Structure 1
Amino acid sequence: MDEFKQDFLKWQEQIKEQIKKRPERKEEFQTSSSIPIERTYFPDKIDNAYIDSLGFPGEYPYTRGIRGTMYRGKYWTMRQYAGFGSAQETNERFRYLLDQGQTGLSVAFDLPTQIGYDSDDPMALGEVGKVGVAIDSLEDMEILFDQISLNQVSTSMTINAPAAVLLAMYIAVAEKQGVAKEDIRGTIQNDILKEYIARGTYIYPPKPSMRLITDIFAYCSDHVPSFNTISISGYHIREAGSTAVQELAFTMSNAVAYVEAALAAGLDIDSFAPRLAFFFNGHNEFFEEIAKFRAARRMWANIMKERFDAKNPKSWQLRFHTQVAGSTLTAQQPENNVVRVALQALAAVLGGTQSLHTNAKDEALSLPTEDSARIALRTQQIIAHETGVSDTVDPLGGSYYIETLTDQLEEEALKYMNQIDEMGGAVSAVEKQYMQREIHRAAYDAQKRLENKDDIVVGVNKFQVGEEQQPDLLKVDEAFVESQIERLQQIREHRDNEKVDYILTQLKTAAKGTDNLMYLIIEAVKQYATVGEICHALRDVYGEY
């Protein structure tokens, strides 16, 4: 206990330093009954096991949060995933959401962009602007961020196989705005392994895909130090039907593979690890989700410190974005989704997320309307400003149930990770279809429980209503596709095509060697080479998976 008191006093001094850098929201925190709220709470009796597994918030192993002040100093970033139709339409939605109090942008790209095709490619027919915004060239990116200062906002981009191209465009737009590369903040998803496992928007085989990812790590480490170079995603693994344990295990195994690939490329662990970020699913089972986030932090801290011998504490810290579970949204009685989303978002906040997206109630039926997107954002704002859950750090820490669940999730996830290590790691496990099979089995079991009514989904297999009234839905006007293609053709006519061809030829040559490809990709986008042209140049060298 004496040792704990000394450590506690040391921790309090560190908190004072943190508060100097980032002042807390209030001078005093108290309940509506004027009862003071402590920064965090500890048990009456402390032993070594407690310190080893939980410790203090903001200290290794970070079970209780990556910062000692957590939301007392700054709320999580409130992002709403948005993108549809043209860059102009999406820009209007972005600016609307920012006006409504959103604190970060999250870009949804259409399917052709995600798999490296231009809007006029025959493969893109019928898909342009449908599930996200169509981005063909730097001009689209300029329109997308028109009147949005890139030194004032953090931007997350759900892009994987062509991540290098879209990041290059973002850097070029910032440069045109007069914003230094060092000052832009955000995240590219850039997690190709989970595409093979669960989502499907891959282009190239695993090895060249991993090379592109490590090129991004190296480039950003030198030039874009505040940008998160990858968002290692358990979200889509869970959406494909995995359990919480599988989401944890497969995400961590993928993360290990990215670290090993970067080390094999000659990067220093502490040069890139502090910019690795994670992306988790906020699912329905309230307490299990809170425990999952806490277990993830502890697992990552141990992996980085013990397995990879990282020295920088920032390399040990798992920073993550949460999106509530799209797969739990129901087309039946869509108003019920507001309740689901609120509870899932609350679990993410109680679990210590750094960033959060709340789904809109109508997303099982269409892209969200402006009104439903606003309600989703208001859900986060109500949690932040009206519930008091952000006034103390890790409020459920010490709960018998939460601590037991945290330990059990970690233990079961590590069993999976050991199996994957025995197979030769995540890349090998992907090639052997191991993770895919495990997810399919879990999804099948869940579907059987639903059909047998062992699991109840309100409005779907119980508590149904008669004929439901169809809500007003967002409809993307497909007339924009023609103008999108026309603009694209004009860009090709008016740019310096000789220069574009020369850079793309250089890119192919570099792709056969070992040079960092980011430099040439940035040059290509500045000359208005398109997403499709750059991706096709790399297809010519790497082939398709």
Structure 2
Amino acid sequence: MGEHPAFVDWKKKVLQKVLDRTPERLKEFKTASGLPVERLVLPETLDEKYLTKVGFPGQYPYTRGIQPTMYRGRLWTMRQYAGFSTAEESNKRYRYLLEQGTTGLSVAFDLPTQIGYDSDHFMSRGEVGKVGVAIDTLADMEALFTGIPLDKVSTSMTINAPAAVLLAMYVAVGEKQGVNPCQLTGTIQNDILKEYIARGTYIFPPRPSLRLTTDIFEWCSKVVPQFNTISISGYHIREAGSTAVQEVAFTLADGCAYVQAAIHAGLDVDIFAPRLAFFFSTSSDLFEEVAKFRAARRLWARLMKERFHTQKPTSQMLRFHAQTAGYTLTAQQVDNNIVRVTLQALAAVLGGTQSLHTNSRDEALALPTEDAVRVALRTQQIIAHESSVCNTVDPLAGSYYVEDLTDRVEREVSTLIEEIDQAGGMIAAIEAGIVQRQIEEAAFQYQQQIDRGERTIVGVNCFQEQEKVSPHVFQVNRAVEENQIRKLTEIRTKRDNQKVKKILASLDEAARGKTNVMPFIMEAVRCYASMGEICDVLRGVFGVYDGRRSL
């Protein structure tokens, strides 16, 4: 018997195009014993169920991955999330990570930056540089990327409410380096809906926040076309206590809300949808996590095709970054966390992630030390180069258990999305507190299971040891806040304050109308207007969300 016509068609129309553009990493892949490893292993019979539900990688419904060669062609981007203290100190850590083999940067910002306050604001006291890097003006962003060529490095920025401001600063730094915005690659999180659900670093109410999101979509499609305009984040939903099913359901429902808002704003779905990205947790239940990722790809492809009638295949692909689960890290027997992170990273790779951050063993205690960060990065490198799991596409496909679990996760997620639709969509569900209540209940049940001993956490509720927890931990210098305020004061003294005042007035006018605000924010950051000044203008127009909801 010859090859199935669908397989022949895939090889000709999908696979060959990618191989012509990007050859595989090796001419031949083999096991440790020298046995050849096939690119794609298929069942003996390609029946209709297989072709419609599982299919081939790089082809709808993308259950087996969004690229036909996956890691045989290119490994995932190895990002390490970092940022602390001042821009200068964070820059040293980034350059260290790049020297150690990191292939992408992921920026953490401090809490004042995340909620749009300058370092000298009274609300910022005691928080400057603590959980991320402090960014007040373009000068800080310039320092953050000193010596790092932005046309060579992909950068992810975990910022939401003031995402437009940080993106503008990043583009402006690129301009100063002589890098055309069209060359910039990376991702800006820009996922405000999950802030109302799970994280809390919102500024404005949901509806004007969505206006800012769609302004970024439109502007980036013209100015920064290779930059991912949003990273729709299930990670923080999971960290807040959701189940894996809830994580996928609420994340995809958030995605639908963003797509609908952009279409309502007049944007062409096939223009902005290919730049949507997702961000998931990867936890320790290895098979459930793999099934979760496979089901998420299939569901998103169907939603984009059937609900939003997309035409481009790239509009239907769910591309995602994964991060190992912070909530699973323990302060007890911290070295055990290395094992947990390894299992979780393996699940993400087996599930087909495009990019991955591995947590450091000491993060249950403090910001990670350089030694701990290096071990976390080495974990990814060992999986990539020593485990051989990257040598074939979707290696767990065809497992009776994994395929059944993928189907079950898909059904459960679909049911939750239907409930959200019946509630009036994601924004209405958030405003009514429906989503938050479900996450809170799941988190409560999880903790009860641990407390009752029904769920085993090694070193916490079993296999315990008498130990003194006193490892070396990283600490932020207390002088950081004072120095950051001094730098900000100097900037305000040196800049053209009349020009700043004029452009902020123009931003206010644009925000009150329907004009895209991004060009005005770009001009403001180029003039060294501060994060707080720009966000204060928008606060004056949009108001501030107080977080109250019906329970």
Secondary structure of the residue that 2:278 maps to in structure 1?
Answer: strand
1:204 & 1:438 partners in 2: Cα distance?
24
Secondary structure of the residue that 2:322 maps to in structure 1?
Answer: strand
Aligned residue in 2 for 1:285: 285
Show the 5 A alignment for 1:234-249.
234-249=234-249
Secondary structure of the residue that 2:88 maps to in structure 1?
Answer: helix
Write out per-residue CA displacement over residues 300-347 of structure 1, whole angstroms, 9 at most, x where no aligned residue.
100001111000000000000000000110011110000000000000
1:252 & 1:508 partners in 2: Cα distance?
33
* 8 Å CA contact retained: 1:333, 1:468: no
Write out per-residue CA displacement over residues 272-302 of structure 1, whole angstroms, 9 at most, x where no aligned residue.
0000000000011110000000000000100
* 8 Å CA contact retained: 2:322, 2:356: yes
Write out per-residue CA displacement over residues 488-512 of structure 1, whole angstroms, 9 at most, x where no aligned residue.
0010011010111111111111111
2:287 & 2:399 partners in 1: Cα distance?
10
How much does 1:16 deviate?
2.6
Aligned residue in 2 for 1:12: 11
Aligned residue in 2 for 1:78: 78
Secondary structure of the residue that 1:232 maps to in structure 2?
Answer: strand
1:420 & 1:98 partners in 2: Cα distance?
42
1:268 & 1:85 partners in 2: Cα distance?
41
Secondary structure of the residue that 2:4 maps to in structure 1?
Answer: helix
Aligned residue in 1 for 2:220: 220
Secondary structure of the residue that 1:231 maps to in structure 2?
Answer: strand
Secondary structure of the residue that 2:420 maps to in structure 1?
Answer: helix
State the AA in 1 paired with 2:69: T
Secondary structure of the residue that 1:363 maps to in structure 2?
Answer: coil
State the AA in 2 paired with 1:277: A
* 8 Å CA contact retained: 2:128, 2:480: no
1:122 & 1:81 partners in 2: Cα distance?
28
Aligned residue in 2 for 1:433: 433
1:54 & 1:502 partners in 2: Cα distance?
56
2:276 & 2:250 partners in 1: Cα distance?
16
State the AA in 2 paired with 1:330: T
Write out per-residue CA displacement over residues 366-406 of structure 1, whole angstroms, 9 at most, x where no aligned residue.
00000000000000000000000000000000101100110
How much does 1:212 deviate?
0.1
Whether 2:126 is the aligned partner of 1:118: answer no
Secondary structure of the residue that 1:353 maps to in structure 2?
Answer: coil
How much does 1:154 deviate?
0.3
Write out per-residue CA displacement over residues 227-278 of structure 1, whole angstroms, 9 at most, x where no aligned residue.
0000000000000000011001100100000000000000001010000000
Aligned residue in 2 for 1:231: 231
Secondary structure of the residue that 1:36 maps to in structure 2?
Answer: coil
Secondary structure of the residue that 1:398 maps to in structure 2?
Answer: coil
State the AA in 1 paired with 2:17: E
Write out per-residue CA displacement over residues 422-448 of structure 1, whole angstroms, 9 at most, x where no aligned residue.
111000000000000000000000010
State the AA in 1 paired with 2:402: I
Aligned residue in 2 for 1:358: 358
How much does 1:149 deviate?
0.3
- Once the two structures are overlaid, the 10-residue window that deviates more, 83-92 or 7-16, is 7-16
* 8 Å CA contact retained: 1:78, 1:356: yes
1:491 & 1:395 partners in 2: Cα distance?
54
State the AA in 2 paired with 1:65: G
Aligned residue in 2 for 1:173: 173
How much does 1:469 deviate?
4.0
Secondary structure of the residue that 1:454 maps to in structure 2?
Answer: coil
2:188 & 2:383 partners in 1: Cα distance?
27
State the AA in 1 paired with 2:130: K
Aligned residue in 2 for 1:325: 325
Secondary structure of the residue that 2:64 maps to in structure 1?
Answer: coil
State the AA in 1 paired with 2:8: L
State the AA in 2 paired with 1:317: M
- Once the two structures are overlaid, the 10-residue window that deviates more, 397-406 or 472-481, is 472-481
Secondary structure of the residue that 1:102 maps to in structure 2?
Answer: coil
* 8 Å CA contact retained: 2:332, 2:469: no
How much does 1:12 deviate?
2.0
Show the 5 A alignment for 1:115-154.
115-154=115-154
Secondary structure of the residue that 2:299 maps to in structure 1?
Answer: helix
Aligned residue in 2 for 1:404: 404
Show the 5 A alignment for 1:378-457.
378-457=378-457
2:5 & 2:402 partners in 1: Cα distance?
27
Aligned residue in 1 for 2:473: 473
State the AA in 2 paired with 1:185: T
1:188 & 1:39 partners in 2: Cα distance?
33
2:374 & 2:447 partners in 1: Cα distance?
32
2:480 & 2:440 partners in 1: Cα distance?
38
2:50 & 2:501 partners in 1: Cα distance?
61
How much does 1:6 deviate?
1.6
1:357 & 1:197 partners in 2: Cα distance?
23
1:532 & 1:469 partners in 2: Cα distance?
39
Q: Percent identity, please.
A: 62
Aligned residue in 2 for 1:270: 270
1:12 & 1:49 partners in 2: Cα distance?
20
How much does 1:47 deviate?
0.9
1:189 & 1:409 partners in 2: Cα distance?
25
How much does 1:10 deviate?
2.2
1:152 & 1:212 partners in 2: Cα distance?
28
Name segments (4+ residues, structure 1) moved above 6 Å. none
Aligned residue in 2 for 1:192: 192
* 8 Å CA contact retained: 2:305, 2:311: yes
Aligned residue in 1 for 2:259: 259
1:343 & 1:245 partners in 2: Cα distance?
19
How much does 1:532 deviate?
0.5
Aligned residue in 1 for 2:488: 488
2:481 & 2:194 partners in 1: Cα distance?
30
How much does 1:20 deviate?
1.9
How much does 1:543 deviate?
1.0
Secondary structure of the residue that 1:330 maps to in structure 2?
Answer: coil
Question: What CA RMSD, in Å, does the superposition of the two structures yield over aligned residues?
Answer: 0.8
2:276 & 2:223 partners in 1: Cα distance?
16
Show the 5 A alignment for 1:329-340.
329-340=329-340
Aligned residue in 1 for 2:548: none
2:234 & 2:129 partners in 1: Cα distance?
26
